Structure 1
Amino acid sequence: MPMITDKEILILYYSQHGAVRQMAQLVARGVEQVAGVRARLRTVAKISTVCETTTPGIPDEGAPYAELCDLKECIGIAVGSPTRFGNMAAPMKYFWDGTGSLWMQHSLVGKPAAFFTSTGSMHGGQESTLLSMMLPLMHHGMIIVGLPYSEPELSTTQQGGTPYGASHFAGMANDHPVSEDEKRLCIALGKRLAQTALKLAA
């Protein structure tokens, strides 16, 4: 009798100071609240924007570096990056710029995707960063999953949280912990993504 294995959701993130990494773990917790689904955590390498070289080898800590097979094998993807002038960070953009072979093969068409980010200032581009991460995934033919206002924290949060995805206000010194509302919205995003991915995969 063949062994039944859970389907996987890829949680793909880049984190410099740790907030986005914590959010990724919370999104993963939400994913794994859905029966039959588990999270696959992956990060991307730092990159020098001067000469386009990436960090070699294996990360010293945290999740392994993502490979293209991770995108192909998972039934849904959550993407997280800190904000860089209202846009995703260069390492995340560099990773997606290297997915042309998957685009040619239509490998990601029809899979759902969700997004999360962290900013140093309250109005530092949370929503534009989430939108910037959507663009390459829409070119891949993916289906965007946001946060509906049926999540009560979306209406009550005094920090992060948007209908475009989960977000966090880290403070200029990166000294603001992820708030309870922000945590609940990360978990809710992961759960909704997993539920959607299961329905689409069926």
Structure 2
Amino acid sequence: QLQSLGIIRDGAERLLQITANLLDMTRIESGRLELVLHVLDLGELVASIVEEQRPLFEQANLDLSLSIEPALPLALLDELRATQIVVNLLSNARKYTPGGGTVQVALGCSADLSELRLAVSDTGVGIAPEDQPEIGTWLFRAKSAKEISAKGVGLGLYITRSLVELHGGRFWFESTPGAGSVFHVTFLAADGS
């Protein structure tokens, strides 16, 4: 009976996440998603998110590491949406990296200190070259996602890319099938930080 309750709870949580993603997508598409920008320490935010997510990586038998350059400038960002970006990137890496693999999170900044750069790399299944142009578009799921039966509906990276762009940042990735992927996002540094 407890197992049945756990299955029901997991299903309800997935449904809630899908609903929240659909609402975000609707707001993004209609131009009604507004950011509440603050000057924040992105390093502290990323470190706290990584620690919150660590048990999920341990459950999946994945090694999760974090590297943050010292003395980073502060960032201008919406804390809730920046959290969503980082969580989405970590969730994506966890879903597509088989047990025993590694996920590395690195935060640094550009030479001119104008932007902070976050990279999430994994030793996962990677993305086929023919699927790569579609990554981050609405409701797209790569063949590799279907092959390993990864859960999701194709909204996470679309929302991530859109939120990064709303922040004035950039989103890109590199991927090699069978070897993994590196997803990069940038955030603007706050003036005078």
Structure 1 or 2, whichever has the larger Rg, is 2
Smaller-chain TM-score range? Answer: under 0.3
Structure with more relative contact order (C-alpha pairs < 8 Å, separation 6 or more)? 1
TM-score, normalised on structure 2?
0.28
TM-score by length of 1: 0.27
